[in-house]
Amino acid sequence: MNAMANSAALAASVSDSMKIKALSTHYFRENRQALGQLLTDGSLAILVSGRPPVRTSDEHYRFLANRNFFYLTGIEQEGSILVLLKEYGTIKCTLFVPGTDAMYERWNGKRLTRAEATDRSGLTDVAYVEGFEGQLADLITSRTQKLWLDYSADNAQARHLKDQIMQDHPLLETADLAPLFIQLRMVKHQEEIDLIREAAMLTGEGILAVMRACRPGLKEYHLWSEFQYTLSQAGCLEPAFNSIVAAGENSLCLHYMNPQATLEDGDLIQLDVGATYGGLCADISRALPANGRFSERQRAIYDLVRQCQEKAFATIRPGIRLTQINEACQEVAREGLLALGLLQPDQPVKDYFWHGVSHHLGLDVHDISNKEALLKPGMVLTVEPGVYVTEWGFGMRLEDDVVVTDDGCLVLSAAIPREAEEIEALMNS
């Protein structure tokens, strides 16, 4: 497809996508069953949604429920608790949500009713959290052989619960749920894959807006806000992570977070950005010429990074490890950098190839994973080779999101313009 047709297709796909928005109750129910399968009889598991971290004084960051809790419930409400009990081979779940509170709700908005919590989660047993502490002693019975908590949960509510249980039941055997979530969450449901594709499409819309706005003399934050505006106009008020817009030498800072610099004629601009859609994340990187035309050096590195990406797409299949993707890309980068006269034959390619190529992607942008695990169909990965040339004053990475299929991988973000010619055509149209 040519660049214009591509961007029209992207726009059409985003508006079509307004139909499916959220994970189904079926998804949450399946996840509870799958976790239950991994627990032995006599297991009691307790998870909490958490509380928003303090920003300063009495101001908090926007609340995002603990992702493992969300994975089982779909509930985005602070101070909620899920109890999962496995006895005689069956799994019984109870959700505790904060009760209605007129004063709280006057300031902070409506809380979920128990019926609303049931609609969202598919859980029929919903109680108020105010009764939880009283019930905790009853929940831990003589039949409880092991108490499972999520040790990876880093929030005030989780810490409080863990301390309290350890204090009240010092002899109870406890275990960590976190490794089980890694095992479960690495392989995605089809609806997660569909939502990641939608998140990538929305990210692509934002990148197109940046391309249209880009010209020398603007500040990095002008491009940053084009991206932010596009997302929030589509209802995504917070991206998957802090957007990176890094011009010129700033592109040599991998997690550049202070986009205040001026875009100079001749700068290369690194974008590393991602929307969320229905709770799932995208993570996309593109590199743009500030003036609409790549310089010879920029183009040389661009083509090399694209070659690395294609090598990664051709390498990813079930049964391999993430390190094999890195090795394949590093080999391509090594040859290209030698040919360009940048790398010396006895020099490690890591002098130019600074970071890993792939990480898992899902409910978290760096989704929880076991980096040694063999790839399986349904896993979703980023593919983001990067080459950084300090002596030329810039570096770049190109990043797309793929799902592992039965015999290879499928690029979920393929509609976002990626070829250098396409990008130049779009920026000069």
Q: Which stretch binds Mn ion (CB under 5 A): 53-61, 158-166, 295-303, 376-384?
A: 376-384
Q: Which stretch binds Mn ion (CB under 5 A): 67-75, 158-166, 294-302, 381-389?
A: 381-389
Taking the complex as a whole, the smallest distance from the CB of residue 304 to Mn ion amounts, in Å, to 19
Cα–Cα nearest to 280, from 117, 124, 413? 413
Looking at the Cβ atoms of 155 and 315, the one nearer to Mn ion is 315
Taking the complex as a whole, the smallest distance from the CB of residue 212 to Mn ion amounts, in Å, to 24
Q: Which stretch binds Mn ion (CB under 5 A): 72-80, 126-134, 308-316, 375-383?
A: 375-383
Phi first, then psi: what are they for 45, rounded to 5°?
A: -115, 135
Looking at the Cβ atoms of 194 and 399, the one nearer to Mn ion is 399
Using CB positions, name the residue nearest to Mn ion: 283
Rg over alpha carbons for the chain, rounded to the nearest Å, is 24
Looking at the Cβ atoms of 150 and 283, the one nearer to Mn ion is 283
Taking the complex as a whole, the smallest distance from the CB of residue 283 to Mn ion amounts, in Å, to 4
Looking at the Cβ atoms of 276 and 382, the one nearer to Mn ion is 382
The 62-101 contact track toward Mn ion, x by CB under 5 A, reads: ----------------------------------------
Looking at the Cβ atoms of 84 and 322, the one nearer to Mn ion is 322
Taking the complex as a whole, the smallest distance from the CB of residue 382 to Mn ion amounts, in Å, to 4
Looking at the Cβ atoms of 381 and 423, the one nearer to Mn ion is 381
Looking at the Cβ atoms of 75 and 244, the one nearer to Mn ion is 244
Please give, one letter per residue, the 3-state secondary structure of the chain. CCHHHHHHHHHHHHHHCCCCCCCCHHHHHHHHHHHHHHCCCCEEEEEECCCCCEEECCEECCCCCCHHHHHHHCCCCCCCEEEEEEECCEEEEEEEECCCCHHHHHHHCCCCCHHHHHHHHCCCCEEEHHHHHHHHHHHCCCCCCEEEECCCCCCHHHHHHHHHHHHHCCCCCEEECHHHHHHHHCECCHHHHHHHHHHHHHHHHHHHHHHHHCCCCCEHHHHHHHHHHHHHHCCCCCCCCCCEEEEHHHHHCCCCCCCCCECCCCCEEEEEECCEECCEECCEEEEEECCCCCCHHHHHHHHHHHHHHHHHHHHCCCCCCHHHHHHHHHHHHHHHHHHCCCCCCCCCHHHCCCCCCCCECCCCCCCCCCCCCCCCCCEEEEECCEEEEHHHCEEEECEEEEEECCCCEEECCCCCCCCHHHHHHHHCC
Taking the complex as a whole, the smallest distance from the CB of residue 351 to Mn ion amounts, in Å, to 21
The 326-365 contact track toward Mn ion, x by CB under 5 A, reads: ----------------------------------------
Q: Which stretch binds Mn ion (CB under 5 A): 176-184, 244-252, 255-263, 283-291?
A: 283-291
Q: Which stretch binds Mn ion (CB under 5 A): 128-136, 146-154, 282-290, 311-319?
A: 282-290
> By the 8 A CB rule, do 53 and 154 touch?
no
> By the 8 A CB rule, do 126 and 114 touch?
yes
Tell me the site size for Mn ion, rule CB under 5 A.
2
Quote the CA–CA distance of 223 and 221 in Å, as a whole number. Answer: 5
The 236-275 contact track toward Mn ion, x by CB under 5 A, reads: ----------------------------------------
Looking at the Cβ atoms of 263 and 281, the one nearer to Mn ion is 281
Tokens 């890094």, residue located: 246
> By the 8 A CB rule, do 287 and 269 touch?
yes
Q: Which residues contact 136 (CB under 8 A, 6 or more apart)?
A: 164, 165, 168
Which 5-34 positions form the footprint of Mn ion (CB under 5 A)? none
Q: Which stretch binds Mn ion (CB under 5 A): 17-25, 112-120, 281-289, 312-320?
A: 281-289
283 binds Mn ion (CB under 5 A): yes
Looking at the Cβ atoms of 78 and 400, the one nearer to Mn ion is 400
Q: Which stretch binds Mn ion (CB under 5 A): 98-106, 149-157, 168-176, 276-284?
A: 276-284
Q: Which stretch binds Mn ion (CB under 5 A): 78-86, 244-252, 300-308, 378-386?
A: 378-386
382 binds Mn ion (CB under 5 A): yes
Looking at the Cβ atoms of 228 and 382, the one nearer to Mn ion is 382
Q: How many CA atoms lie within 13 A of 355 on its CB side?
A: 19
424 binds Mn ion (CB under 5 A): no
Residues at the contact surface with Mn ion, assessed by CB under 5 A: 283, 382
